[in-house]
């Protein structure tokens, strides 16, 4: 592509010592650049490897810490569950005991109420036969309650 005249000029220029020195310097610079490039590449590769190794170590440490934390947490959860189960068991026992006491109290009250109702029924039967006595006690009771109400109202006003 280059014309023969142009090639001839290049040959003449390349034969001169200045141009040869310039070409040699370019070659040296090119070699140095390649050498520096390979050094930098190796250094970057080493740094990259070191960073990867450091990151891996940190990852391993984190995994180890998480493992121990998980074990501690699981242990605490298990102990809490055990405490809750014990508490629930004792609560159920207490509820059963209170239920028994309540049933006993209920039956006791029912017996006393039953006795009172049977006594009242028998008293009413006897009271029906003796009316004059019941009438006088009823009048006395109403007078006492009326008097009490009046005194309470008077006390509240003053």
Distances (CA, A) of 4 to 8, 10, 16, 20: 6, 10, 19, 21
**Confidence (pLDDT) at 149:** 54
| Pairwise CA distance, residues 40 & 25, whole Å | 22
3-state helix, strand, coil in the chain (%, to 5): 95, 0, 5
- Rg for the chain, CA atoms, rounded: 57
DSSP single-letter state for residue 155: H
Q: Is the pLDDT of residue 153 over 60?
A: no
In this predicted model, what pLDDT tens digit does every residue of 125-149 receive, in sequence order? 665 555 555 445 555 555 555 555 5
Q: What's the pTM value of the predicted model, to 2 decimals?
A: 0.39
- For helices 17-129 and 4-15, the axis angle rounded to 10 degrees is 90
| Pairwise CA distance, residues 158 & 151, whole Å | 11
**Confidence (pLDDT) at 156:** 57
| Pairwise CA distance, residues 79 & 73, whole Å | 10
Residue that the structure tokens 């070659």 belong to: 27
Residue that the structure tokens 């310097």 belong to: 25
In this predicted model, what pLDDT tens digit does every residue of 34-84 receive, in sequence order? 999 888 888 888 888 888 999 999 999 999 999 999 999 999 999 999 999
| Pairwise CA distance, residues 4 & 19, whole Å | 20
DSSP single-letter state for residue 16: S
Joined together, the tokens standing for residue 148 give 């009490």
In this predicted model, what pLDDT tens digit does every residue of 76-128 receive, in sequence order? 999 999 999 999 999 999 999 999 999 999 999 998 888 878 877 676 666 55
């Amino acid at each position: 592509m280059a014309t023969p005249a142009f090639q001839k000029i290049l040959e003449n220029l390349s034969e001169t010592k200045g141009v040869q020195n310039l070409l040699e310097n370019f070659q040296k610079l090119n070699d140095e650049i390649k050498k520096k490039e390979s050094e930098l590449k190796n250094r970057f590769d080493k740094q990259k490897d070191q960073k990867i190794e450091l990151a891996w170590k940190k990852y391993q440490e984190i995994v180890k810490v998480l493992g121990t934390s998980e074990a501690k947490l699981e242990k605490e959860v298990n102990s809490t569950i055990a405490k809750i189960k014990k508490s629930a068991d004792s609560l159920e026992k207490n509820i059963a005991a209170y239920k028994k006491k309540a049933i006993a109290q209920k039956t006791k009250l029912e017996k006393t109420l039953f006795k009172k109702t049977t006594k009242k029924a028998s008293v009413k039967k006897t009271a029906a036969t003796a009316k004059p006595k019941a009438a006088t006690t009823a009048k006395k009771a109403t007078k006492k309650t009326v008097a009490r109400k009046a005194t309470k109202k008077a006390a509240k006003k003053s």
